Amino acid sequence: MSSALTHSNTLIIDSHCHFDLVIQALKELPETLLKKAQSHNINIIIVPGLDPNQWKTVIALAEKHNEIYFAAGLHPWWIDKQVNLKDLRVQISTQLNHPKCIAIGECGLDAFIDTDMALQERILEVHLDLAQQFKKPIILHSRKTDHLLQRLLKNHPLKAGGVLHAFSGHPDIALQFIKQGLHLGIGGTITYPRARKTIQACEKIDLKHLILETDAPDMPIKGFQGQTNTPEQIVHVAQALADIKQVPLDEVITKTTQNALCLFNLKDHMI
């Protein structure tokens, strides 16, 4: 890690970290992991929801630790074919009243799983409707489904914006999602030279549309393949983005942090 990363004093936000799963993977105390993150000025970690059973763990972490905020959503990988859409709507709505629930998600579409796409779309529409109703930002997952996601966003315009998590695609696709009110979540993908399309998109897209994330414990950065990803690795993502855009590291951190603070309405932390 460079000295620039070590000595930067600007607040950094990990906008997408499955912190509960990091704890499980590393078998460390939350306090230990948070202290490591804080040593790199990572003082806000946003933990997406995966399914209602997992929310309980995340809520407990958020209530105990000032650094942790959460989102409520049903990830496509956790969809039960017997899911009741009315019950899901009520479950998510209830969590949105929690003071540390700052978004809806993680939700979306995934063409790599067996779950029927029509069911995935109906469940995503529940999330999109709630995002409109509660004027909350949404955290979206998309794998080989960008065209379907764009159609649904057209039918359910976002009132409070959102983020396309783990963006990895062509610059033209990036611009289309930005026009639909989304920020792009930039993670460890850009540390790999082979991710040419994503790197090209980062070159062309203004920093005002980007936020940083790790997706820990998944999506390790280059050089850490096969290891559990952790929040502090976001400093390497920031450095990679600064290198791609040929701007100072502090500029990347400051702007992406401001973007995340505004998107998730964390005004008390404004820098």
Instruction: Provide the 8-state DSSP code for 257.
Output: H
**By three-state DSSP, how is residue 70 classified?**
strand
Cα torsion at 138, 103, 78, 214 (round to 10°)? 90
Tell me the pLDDT tens digit for each residue of 124-182. 999 999 999 999 999 999 999 999 999 999 999 999 999 999 999 999 999 999 999 99
Distance CA 240, CA 189 (A): 10
Amino acid at the residue 133: Q
Tokens of 253: 């951190």
Distance CA 12, CA 46 (A): 11
Distance CA 243, CA 237 (A): 10
Distance CA 207, CA 266 (A): 19
Q: Determine the pLDDT at residue 9.
A: 73
pTM, full prediction: 0.95
Mean local confidence (pLDDT), 99-118: 98
Distance CA 194, CA 192 (A): 5
Tell me the pLDDT tens digit for each residue of 218-243. 999 999 999 999 999 999 999 999 99
Q: Determine the pLDDT at residue 268.
A: 74
Residue with tokens 């997406």: 48
Given a cut of 60, whether residue 207 has pLDDT beyond it is yes
Second-level CATH architecture of 3-269: Alpha-Beta Barrel (3.20)
Would you say the C-alpha torsion 153, 156, 158, 162 has a positive or negative sign?
negative
Tell me the pLDDT tens digit for each residue of 14-50. 999 999 999 999 999 999 999 999 999 999 999 999 9
**pLDDT-derived band of residue 65, with 50, 70 and 90 as boundaries?**
very high
Given a cut of 80, whether residue 267 has pLDDT beyond it is no
Phi, psi of 167 (to 5 degrees): -60, 135
Domain ranges of the chain: 3-269
